[in-house]
Each structure stands twice: as C-alpha cells, then as structure tokens.
C-alpha cells in the first residue's frame, strides 16, 4: 500500500487536466506501469483514463482485487480493448460521443502493436503524443516524493560505508557490488531501478575499477563497465580490484518507487597525477554547477557552462566519456525513473523550478586507465537547492 492521501492524486489529476484543457485534448490514456502508478497508487495491468474534466477511471485486467485495495481512482474490471472502448463511451459520453475525439497517450513508451490495437478498437479517436504532458507533471515533486528520495539517499550512504569497509585488494568488482546490493535490499530497496528510455536498462548501478570502468557500452551514460556477460554489457564484472587505480562507485537505490543517484570515487593507495587532477576538476564542475542550481536557470546553460569550463582545463576530450562514446549531458532528472526530465543538455531550455530533482554527474573517462568523477542529487527549492546526497565528498583514499 502506498502512503499517500487521495488528495495527492487529486492534485496530480488536476495538473494533468489543466494541460489537457490548454491544448484542447479530450483526455489522457496512461498505459505504462510507472505512469499508472503515479496517477493511481497502484501498478496493476490496465489503463488509466483521465478526462480533461471529471474523475479518472482505472480499467484493470489483472489484478482487479489488488487494484481496488491500492488505487486512489475508481477501478473498473477490464475485459478486452473493445470492452474498454464501450466503457469509455458509457462513462464519458461528453468526450466520446463526438464523431472525432482527441486523446493523448505516451508515444515514447507505447508499443506499436498496442497502439494499432487501440486505433482499431476506437476508430473515432485521433491519438496525439502526450509523453511530455505526463513527464512534465512528474518533473515537479511533492513533499511526499522528496521524503522517499531522501530515504533512498540515506540508505545508499549506509551501503557505501559498508562497501568501503569491505573493500580490499584482489576483490572482484561484483563482490563489492554484492555488498552494496545486500545492504540496500535489507533497508528497503525494491530491487530495480526503472528507466523510461527504449532498450535502456539499469542494474543497481556500477562498481568499476581501472580499465573495466572505462569500457564503453550501449548504456547512455559516461561509464558503462565490463559487466558479467555480453548479455548484460554494463556494470560490475569479475575483474579484480587493484591498488592505485580509480574505483568508480556509481550506485542508486529505489525506495517506494523513488530513486537516488550518486557517484563516489575511491582508490586503494593513490591515483596517478592526471587522474587525480581530473577528479579534482569533476568537483570543480560540480561547484560551478551548484552556483546555478536555482529557479530560473536554464538547463542547457548549465551544460554549456560545464563544457566551457572543462575545455579551458584541457580535458574536454575525456569529459562524460571518451571519443565517439561521449554522452552529451551533464545531469538528468530523477524520481520514479532514473532518466526523468529535466535534462542538463543542449536543446533542453526548461528553466529550473522548485520541486525538480536533478542528478549532476561530471565524470572523466580514460580508456585503459579508468573513470573518475562525482555525482550528487539535488532538490531545487525556492531559495536555491538542497543536496539530497548524504555521502562524503572528496577522493576516498583507502590504505
């Protein structure tokens, strides 16, 4: 059971309805699990329809019993898509009685096959992309959501301390990751970190040492990791951790669906001078970015400022990856998914607003040598920001 009051969901419905009304759209059909959970407090198989005016309905195929226990919206048992069409007409005659209806849904995550079935079941509906509508609403967090992210930050800090106390030369990356995963599971981690991007998957995070951390992969981030297999080509592998090489500990935790994202860099011994300087530069980029973490700052500008700063330091070729595998962002929103809006990247002209949560992750990749960097998650407030990440900063040097 979720811990939110029904008023929390009413506020979410109303914010979505304001967007629908402003665009002349008759309603929004949520199909994706995370959006369904956000709108109802339940994550059972089905659809949520939010009309531009009126009460939403949650049409559930399985499990109706559980959905009725959890959902803030009224639950209607769902048979087939044809049944859904007739039920929508019956319950929302003012919307669906017209010969042509405009309905939004999540084009960014809706499978083509499912979309074609919806078209066939409701031929009088014209479908429009409502991805940004729901993602922009989710971009602004409530006090309840922030509380869960704070708790995730607390748990991941406990896990980091456990990991550092266990770290020893010769230990495999995956052994260190197992310490982290066991700790956060005991403290309430749900066991997964959700992503919205197509074919983007995320494990608990990535513990990578030396050259293995710098191994490029498909994952849309500055550090991929060797992984255990080509079937999961990211995160920790079997490589033994050695002295005097960077150990990137890029980890997250998911409590009640809400995630934290943080990175720390450790070393057994000390780093060679160039890598140590690159780590120092990552903290300098973080401090530079923090100066602009306030309402009204444009997301794109934070990224471009970081690029100029790094270029002046002569390390732009290693920033956020290397060569063709560099990623083109400095940070990203987090919440129910790890890749939420806003994105600190070129072309994202969103202004920071109170209620946003962003992870800022300046990192430097050196092929064959390792990855260094830091990542904090921040809550944007009326006055500026609150650092949600609790773990100590600085290069963590262990004997």
Tens of pLDDT, residue by residue, the chain (399 residues): 556 789 999 999 999 999 999 999 999 999 999 999 999 999 999 999 999 999 999 999 999 999 999 999 999 999 888 899 999 999 999 898 888 899 999 999 999 999 999 999 999 999 999 999 999 999 999 999 999 999 999 999 999 999 999 999 999 999 999 999 999 999 999 999 999 999 999 888 999 999 999 999 998 888 889 999 999 999 999 999 999 999 999 999 999 999 999 999 999 999 999 999 999 999 999 999 999 999 999 999 999 999 999 999 999 999 999 999 999 999 999 999 999 999 999 999 999 999 999 999 999 999 999 999 999 999 999 999 999 999 999 999 999
- CB atoms inside a 10 Å sphere around CB 298: 16
Strands (E), the chain: 27-30, 45-51, 57-62, 74-77, 101-105, 125-129, 205-209, 247-255, 258-268, 331-333, 340-344, 357-360, 363-366, 370-373, 376-380, 385-387, 396-398
Name the segment(s) of the chain with CATH classification 3.40.350.10. 6-138
> Which pair of structure tokens corresponds to residue 59?
């049409």
What pTM value is reported for the model?
A: 0.96
Query: In terms of Cα–Cα distance, which of 249, 255, 131 is closest to 197?
Result: 131
Domain with CATH 3.90.230.10 in the chain: 140-398
The CATH code of the domain at 6-138 is 3.40.350.10
Dihedral sign for Cα atoms in the order 293, 297, 298, 303: negative
CATH architecture designation of domain 140-398: Alpha-Beta Complex (3.90)
Closest by CA to 306, choosing from 329, 338, 325, is 329
Give the separation between CA 383 and CA 399, rounded to whole angstroms.
40
């Amino acid at each position: 059971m979720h811990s939110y009051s029904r008023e929390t969901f009413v506020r979410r419905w109303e914010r979505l309805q304001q967007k629908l009304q402003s665009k002349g759209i008759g309603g929004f059909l949520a199909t994706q699990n995370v959006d369904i959970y956000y709108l109802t407090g339940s994550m059972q198989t089905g659809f949520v329809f939010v009309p531009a005016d009126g009460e939403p309905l949650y049409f559930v195929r399985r499990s109706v019993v559980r959905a009725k226990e959890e959902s803030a919206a009224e639950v209607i048992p769902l048979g087939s898509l044809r049944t859904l069409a007739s039920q929508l007409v019956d319950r929302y005659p003012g919307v669906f009685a017209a010969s042509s209806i405009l309905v939004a849904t999540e084009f960014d995550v809706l499978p083509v096959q499912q979309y074609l079935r919806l078209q066939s079941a409701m031929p009088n509906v014209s479908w429009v992309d409502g991805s940004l509508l729901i993602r922009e609403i989710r971009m602004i967090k409530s006090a309840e959501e922030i509380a869960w992210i704070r708790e995730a930050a607390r748990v991941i800090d406990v896990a980091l301390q456990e990991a550092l106390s266990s770290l020893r030369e010769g230990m495999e990356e995956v052994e260190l990751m197992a310490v982290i995963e066991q700790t956060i599971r005991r403290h309430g981690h749900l066991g997964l970190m959700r992503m919205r991007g197509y074919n983007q998957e995320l494990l608990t995070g990535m513990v990578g040492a030396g050259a293995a951390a710098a191994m490029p992969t498909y994952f849309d981030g500055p550090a991929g990791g060797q992984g255990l297999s080509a079937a999961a080509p990211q995160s920790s592998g079997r490589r033994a951790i050695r002295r005097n090489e960077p150990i990137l500990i890029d980890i997250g935790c998911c409590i009640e669906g809400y995630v934290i994202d943080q990175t720390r860099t450790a070393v057994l011994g000390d780093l060679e001078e160039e890598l140590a300087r690159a780590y120092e530069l990552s903290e300098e980029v973080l401090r530079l970015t923090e100066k602009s973490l306030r309402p009204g700052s444009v997301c794109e500008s934070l990224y471009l400022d970081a690029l100029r700063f790094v270029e002046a330091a002569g390390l732009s070729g290693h920033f956020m990856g290397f060569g063709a595998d560099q990623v083109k962002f400095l940070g990203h929103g987090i919440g129910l998914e790890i890749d939420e809006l806003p994105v600190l990247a070129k072309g994202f002209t969103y202004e920071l607003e109170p209620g946003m949560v962003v992870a800022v992750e300046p990192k430097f990749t050196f092929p064959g040598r390792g990855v260094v960097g830091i990542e904090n998650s921040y809550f944007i407030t009326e006055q500026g920001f609150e650092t949600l990440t609790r773990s100590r900063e600085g290069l963590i040097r262990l004997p």
